[in-house]
Structure 1
Amino acid sequence: MAVSLTGLRCLVAIVDAGMNVSAAAQSLHLSQPSVSRQLAQIEQALGVRLFARRGRGLVSLTPAGGEVLAIARRMVDDYGRLRRLAGNQPAEGSEELAIVAPQGYALHVLPPLLRQLCDAHPSLSVRLRTLGEGEPMRPADHPAGDLFMTSTAGDEGVEPGSVPLFRWRRVAIVERWHPLSGFRGPLPLEELVRWPLVTYEAARREDSSFRRVMSAAGLQPQFACSAQDPQTLKAYARAGLGVGLVAEFALCAADHDDFAVIELDARLPECIAWALLPRSRSPRPIALSLLQLLAPHIEPERIQAVLRGEADLEGLDPPSYVRAAPMLASALA
């Protein structure tokens, strides 16, 4: 019986999890019986015991287990390096770009930029993985990703090496027959809280910037409906379920015809759109090209220095959405 790479990964994960097979299985997205079976297969193939046991639990590595672990770590690490190398080498005659982004950016920010990129690279194939607004974005969960996008509000932290793209605000949308349709903003929180809200699922979280601002004002919002993407929110606001709260960049020309769009209270903080390239491998040139389209306000040399860890973007104030992307603004206005 041969020793598999999966088995070696299981061995490393068990040790890294403090001899906890359940935790190792969770980290590998495998079942506990599968991890236990992989461990048994390694011991059977090598003819040695890797762990000292107490009952059914693992206590510590045996001397032989320590030697096998050192080899397993090297093999797993080497395989990881091979995969990262392969990830930087597109197939002959074609080029792929894997993007992970909230659905709002995928629908309303990226299309004209990707069209420009595809015009310059006719063989380019884009693979897009969309997330809900506010859904945690961890690059480690998407090892094949070439470029990641996310949002923060207020003073929320971001991953090191993230590039600020633009600032944006939430706006209120209501049907033309709604009592608020004639309101000339900004709409005070005290008035907003009088109406049922249709907004992003993330706004419901107790630790969200929206809830923190409301709590500081002594207000309790009422949520009629929430969803992960702006298209659903607009559909339910259009159905009259409540006042919709969406990102300003998520509105197209038809939405301005259908809805009254109202500026919101300045106490709700601006949000910032960020882009991040994977730190586990060298950025691909095509991903750098897209990043430059997303952040034309930053010199390419400065972005390269940030990615190399030789500089930072401290003090850089990203422009507002409309000013950051005039091409997008004209296309979507």
Structure 2
Amino acid sequence: MNFQQLRSVREAERCHFNLTEVAAALHTSQPGVSRQVRELEDELGLELFVRSGKRLLGLTSAGQALMPIIQRVLLDAESLRRAGQELQGREEGRLSIAATHSQARYALPHVVRDFRQRYPRVTLHLHQGSPKQVAEMLLAGDADIGVATEALAGYEQLVTLPCYRWSHSIVVPPGHPLLSLSQPVTLQDLVAFPIITYEVGYTGRSHIDDAFAQAGLVPEVVLTAMDADVIKTYVELEMGVGIVASIAIDEERDSHLCAVDAGHLFQINLTRLGLRRNHWLPGFAYSFIENFVPTLTREVVTQAQEAH
């Protein structure tokens, strides 16, 4: 049994059992992948894949049972390699961050810049995805650190730590009727206009929907997007009233729009940082985390990872 055999099995599942993609991911040939898989199956005395001729169709029940063990062994092997580098005093390697677009675009740039200046020999990978995809990247070992507002807290295998709280804002073009109200904007005021906001599952959208539902109101959502910049673009075209994360508003870049705080309308959001439970991290990863959230020191993070 060797690591290449285990990688072949893991990549087969990741690539949806497409051997061409598996071979490309492992920089080998399809026959090479098939051989590695067969050798592991022979050693285990079990078939891990359902087959149709030479094609892989899915995992057998044995494959499903053993896949978590295979993934854990490979993750532990990577942790061992990285721990060895750190014990040698080598501040080099890679750090993978998974984040939603809003976090990558608005919350992380200065943290990433500072990290690169401090650790020039560390390759930084920044992956973007939905909150669910961020969680899945963490679970699969494709990311060391995840940053998202939604979804992360729903996985037992992940440790989640609070980063910062934020609210939504309303964005409209200059001269919009909402700007001339004598009282703070209400939900009733908002439903009089078409709404442009985030897709379901992104950037606090659930809190927006909950607020309208609890008030017995049904807003006319005419356009949704993952990206606040896209939302603001269509607000500028006067297609509707935008609801975006307050951190997505830049006074200089968005000088052609007017923002109104909506913290009194929608529940405050909590952005979380996610890590795999009991997963070893290099020292520079803790440095990244603490630079992002000063209260999350190495001691605090380690204690959270080791807690059950």
TM-score scaled to structure 1, two decimals?
0.67
Q: Which runs of 5+ in 2 are unaligned?
A: 23-30, 53-59
| Distance in 2, Cα, partners of 1:203 & 1:84 | 32
What pairs up with 1:224-303 in 2 under 5 angstroms?
A: 224-264=222-262, 266-279=264-277, 281-303=279-301
1:42 to 11, 28, 38: 38
| Distance in 2, Cα, partners of 1:201 & 1:76 | 32
| CA apart distance, 1:184 | 6.4
| CA apart distance, 1:27 | 6.9
Amino acid at match of 1:81: D
Amino acid at match of 2:189: E
| Distance in 1, Cα, partners of 2:138 & 2:132 | 17
RMSD over aligned CA atoms reads 4.5
Q: Provide the secondary structure at the position in 2 that maps to 1:208.
A: helix
Q: Provide the secondary structure at the position in 2 that maps to 1:274.
A: strand
Aligned residues: 281
**Aligned residues of 2:98 and 2:134 also touching (Cα < 8 A):** no
Residues 243-295 of structure 1: per-residue CA shift (max 9 Å, x gap): 11110111112245221111226241111011122336302211111111122
1:29 to 9, 12, 16: 16
Per the alignment, residue 107 of structure 1 pairs with 105
Residues 211-231 of structure 1: per-residue CA shift (max 9 Å, x gap): 222112111111121111111
1:83 to 52, 70, 78: 78
TM-score scaled to structure 2, two decimals?
0.72
Per the alignment, residue 169 of structure 2 pairs with 171
| CA apart distance, 1:136 | 6.1
| CA apart distance, 1:209 | 2.8
Per the alignment, residue 5 of structure 1 pairs with 5
Q: Provide the secondary structure at the position in 1 that maps to 2:149.
A: strand
Amino acid at match of 2:287: S
Q: Which runs of 5+ in 1 are unaligned?
A: 14-24, 311-333
| CA apart distance, 1:165 | 0.8
| CA apart distance, 1:298 | 4.3
Residues 58-108 of structure 1: per-residue CA shift (max 9 Å, x gap): xx99xxx99xx99x9987764453234345558x78432211001111111
Per the alignment, residue 126 of structure 1 pairs with 124
**Aligned residues of 2:104 and 2:128 also touching (Cα < 8 A):** yes
**Aligned residues of 1:174 and 1:237 also touching (Cα < 8 A):** yes
| Distance in 2, Cα, partners of 1:94 & 1:47 | 36
- Over the matched positions of the two proteins, sequence identity in percent amounts to 21
